[in-house]
Amino acid sequence: MHLLLFDQQDNWTQLLPLTFTRPVAALRIGILTIADKWAMYAKEAGLQTLGYLAFPFLSSLYPTNVNREEKLLVAGYALPNPSLWQAILALEPEQQLWHNDTPLAWRTNLEVSDALVSTFPRPALEDGIVQYDKELVLIDNPTDIFALNGAQIRHDYALVTKGRISAGIADPHTIVYGAENLFVEEGASIKAAIINAEDGPVYIGKGAQIQEGSVVKGPFALCDNAVVNMSAKIKGDTTIGPYCKVGGEISNTVFQAFSNKGHDGFLGNSVIGAWCNLGADTNSSNLKNNYQQVSIFSYASNSQRDTGRLFCGLIMGDHSKAGINTMFNTGTVVGVGCNIFGGGFPAKHLEPFTWGGLQDGYSHYKINKLIETERLVMARRSLDLTPEYEAMMRFLHTYIHDHAKPIRDLGQ
């Protein structure tokens, strides 16, 4: 069998702006992306490939790979665990696994299409449905990513390190507390740092660096080729995705990949997409002065939504940038492809492809200028902006700014 990860329209929309450029399963939470987690379970069970059932405008970047062979369709918005995985593997041909009204999996050899992201074909006969009522965690909102990150670091740490031996730390000037909860991949570099893994595991990926004077507290994940700059203070429940560079003070935050916050400044209870940059001394508030619960903008309702959380900082979509000394208010949502700069607090919701700041006002970020910048940014990491990726970004820009259509209809 093959494994395919599918989205549902409502869930994907609720996770915007992080899902403008990816399926839900491509989001990183813990050490791994959701797709990586499912792939590790699938590999152990002998499944052959992993693909996606994504919206049409994302399908060239996240292909299905297989169609006519027997396959397991699994919800990309569900976080795997052994109990759920066993329930999925126990499905008979053409049976589906549901949790109340939420589809979780389908074993089928029927031809499937991206229409599944809009309407999942519930079987007419109830004996085709298996109800699942055990341990289940679904990703429903951007705030779930930082709120669940500590638990997911622990989950992924057990997966990634099972049966393996850490490369360890050779540097005599690095101090480690709770060394039994530390795993270092080959090629990582750690110099004159303090690492405290007593309250949760610390994972250091291949080629990653923790530079001199930094203090790190677990649970913490520093993914492959990521860098913690000198004298940084990294608090628990934080993930720094592959090829990211961070500094200053960071708490309970998830960086997806290829993003930078290289200088001083505070960031807490936040999620930063891919290819973002936060300029020197950028800060984000994560607690309101009146200690009230934080509300954030929801693309699903096109209005502010109460998160039910006391702490919530910045949610930033891919390819967004903030100039030096930018001050983000509590619960700010920045769309994909924004360039924000200038004094004062930017608006709490910045629409996708916004250019400017509070003092000089906001305008649309011209797509050719954005593409030119992103081509240069990717070249700095020895990567090319592929025609498929450029087409996806141009599609988003056209849809959002040239057509007055609801965001929730984006995938149709």
Q: What is the CATH number of the domain that holds 338?
A: 2.160.10.10
At 411 the pLDDT is: 64
Whether residues 103 and 230 share a domain: the answer is no
Two tokens at 141? 């909102």
CA 377 – CA 106 distance, rounded (Å):
40
Whether residues 294 and 365 share a domain: the answer is yes
- Judge whether 115 lies within some domain: yes
Whether residues 124 and 184 share a domain: the answer is no
Whether residues 91 and 153 share a domain: the answer is no
- Judge whether 408 lies within some domain: no
Q: pLDDT 10s digit of each residue in the chain, 412 long? A: 889 999 998 899 999 999 999 999 999 999 999 999 999 999 988 887 789 998 899 999 999 877 667 889 999 999 999 999 999 999 999 999 999 999 999 999 888 877 777 778 888 777 899 999 999 999 999 999 999 999 999 999 999 999 999 999 999 999 999 999 999 999 999 999 999 999 999 999 999 999 999 999 999 999 999 999 999 999 999 999 999 999 999 999 999 999 999 999 999 999 999 999 999 999 999 999 999 999 999 999 999 999 999 999 999 999 999 999 999 999 999 999 999 998 889 999 999 999 999 888 999 999 999 999 999 999 999 999 999 999 999 999 999 887 656 776 776 6
- Judge whether 305 lies within some domain: yes
In this structure, are residues 236 and 150 in contact, taking their beta carbons and an 8 Å threshold?
yes
Range of the structural domain that residue 291 is part of: 143-402
- Judge whether 341 lies within some domain: yes
Whether residues 94 and 168 share a domain: the answer is no
Whether residues 148 and 29 share a domain: the answer is no
| β-pair type (129-131, 96-99) | parallel
Whether residues 396 and 259 share a domain: the answer is yes
Q: Which helix (H) or strand (E) holds 143?
A: helix 142-147
Residue 250: name the closest of 28, 181, 239, 210 by CA: 239
At 70 the pLDDT is: 85
In this structure, are residues 150 and 41 in contact, taking their beta carbons and an 8 Å threshold?
no
- Judge whether 407 lies within some domain: no
Q: What is the CATH number of the domain that holds 53?
A: 3.90.550
Q: Which of 107, 140, 173 is the last residue of a domain?
A: 140
Whether residues 353 and 263 share a domain: the answer is yes
Whether residues 159 and 119 share a domain: the answer is no
- Judge whether 342 lies within some domain: yes
Taken in order 185, 149, 288, 295, the sign of the CA dihedral is positive
- Judge whether 409 lies within some domain: no
pTM: 0.95
At 176 the pLDDT is: 98
Whether residues 357 and 251 share a domain: the answer is yes
Whether residues 271 and 259 share a domain: the answer is yes
Q: Which of 140, 171, 205 is the last residue of a domain?
A: 140
In this structure, are residues 131 and 99 in contact, taking their beta carbons and an 8 Å threshold?
yes
At 404 the pLDDT is: 59
Task: State the total domains in the chain.
Answer: 2
At 351 the pLDDT is: 94
Q: How far apart are the first and last CA of the chain?
A: 29
- Judge whether 82 lies within some domain: yes
For 390, residues 6+ apart whose C-beta sits below 8 A from its C-beta are 371
Whether residues 210 and 189 share a domain: the answer is yes
CA 115 – CA 69 distance, rounded (Å):
18
Q: Which of 101, 119, 140 is the last residue of a domain?
A: 140
